[in-house]
Structure 1
Amino acid sequence: MNWIEWYNGLAKPDWTPAPSTIALIWQILYPIILVSFGYAFVQVYRRRFPRPVAIPFAVNLVANLLFMPLFAGLHNIPLATMDILVVWATIVWCAVAVWRHARWVAFAQVPYFGWVSTATVVQLSIAVAN
């Protein structure tokens, strides 16, 4: 069974966005993430921001990239749920860490945080229902 068949068979909230909507949202968010995270990493590399600023951005990227392999690849709902909670928390951590150095980067995380908040509620609902 491919992952979309598996996903379609899960109990989900009625208001869960369609996979095509989820894909569109990520197509909008990834460029924002690329520019804002890239800027933070470059500034840390150039020593304009302190090194600890990069930590939440790095943790977030790893957790973000792990979600689909955990969820859709391994079909591991509990581990994917823990992972999305890490993604959610590190977005806040990113904004706090970078606030003093580049407020625009912190503000750029607002749409990412909004979407991941919604996705986290969906994921928690899936975890409870399945």
Structure 2
Amino acid sequence: MFWALFVIFLAACFSAGSTGGLFAPGQWYRDLSKPSWTPPDWAFPVVWTMLYVCMATAGTRAAMAPDNSIALALWSLQIALNGLWTPVFFGLKKIKLGMIVLSALWASVAVTLLALYQVDFIAAALFVPYLVWVTIAGALNASVWQRNPEKA
């Protein structure tokens, strides 16, 4: 049962992540002014792959726990917002709207982490690196917005 659920949650994660292939950063993003601490391009697929495995494991553990309805509803919300950011930021090239989506994503990840904690400590712990990465992404999005007001 664990592995069947894990595959479903992992598919949800990679479905959200597939927007990165549909809306690649491209020249527009390369031309933006970015802070010196911007992670290198190769880091994004590596980090997201590890995060998606953690997120899928967390979702699976929560799905197998009792009293999981709020945690699973919030897990669903955060993965939907996760999949929305890339089309908004890279597809529509809307830096400010991307920041709004990313802020909602950050809040949903934080609340999901708290809800997961209520049903499974390990599931919550698996969401900590995700919250850290979304915090970094938010800081990067904010910096890009600040540095490129004419394109925001």
TM-score by length of 2: 0.76
Name which of 34, 39, 44 aligns with 1:22: 44
Is 1:60–2:78 an aligned residue pair?
yes
Q: Tell me the amino acid that sits aligned with residue 64 of structure 1.
A: N
Q: How far apart in 2 are the matches of 1:91 and 1:3?
A: 24
- Are residues 112 and 50 of structure 1, via their aligned partners in 2, closer, same or farther at CA, if it must alter by over 3 Å? closer
Q: How far apart in 2 are the matches of 1:20 and 1:4?
A: 14
CA contact (8 A) 1:11 1:126 kept: yes
Q: Tell me the amino acid that sits aligned with residue 33 of structure 2.
A: A
Q: Residue 28 of structure 2 aligns with which residue?
A: 6
Q: How far apart in 2 are the matches of 1:118 and 1:87?
A: 12
Q: How far apart in 2 are the matches of 1:114 and 1:129?
A: 23
- Aligned partner of residue 100 in structure 1, secondary structure: helix
Q: Residue 105 of structure 1 aligns with which residue?
A: 123
Give the superposition deviation at 1:116. Answer: 1.1
CA contact (8 A) 1:43 1:49 kept: no
CA contact (8 A) 1:63 1:87 kept: yes
Q: How far apart in 1 are the matches of 2:90 and 2:50?
A: 21
Question: Which shows bigger deviation, 30-39 or 74-83?
Answer: 30-39
Give the unaligned 5+ runs of structure 2.
1-23
Q: How far apart in 2 are the matches of 1:54 and 1:77?
A: 29
Q: Residue 79 of structure 1 aligns with which residue?
A: 97
Q: Residue 93 of structure 1 aligns with which residue?
A: 111
Q: How far apart in 1 are the matches of 2:30 and 2:86?
A: 15
Give the superposition deviation at 1:49. Answer: 1.8
Q: Residue 37 of structure 1 aligns with which residue?
A: 59
Deviations 1:33-78 (A, max 9, x none): 11112332x347xxx2242222321110110001111111111111
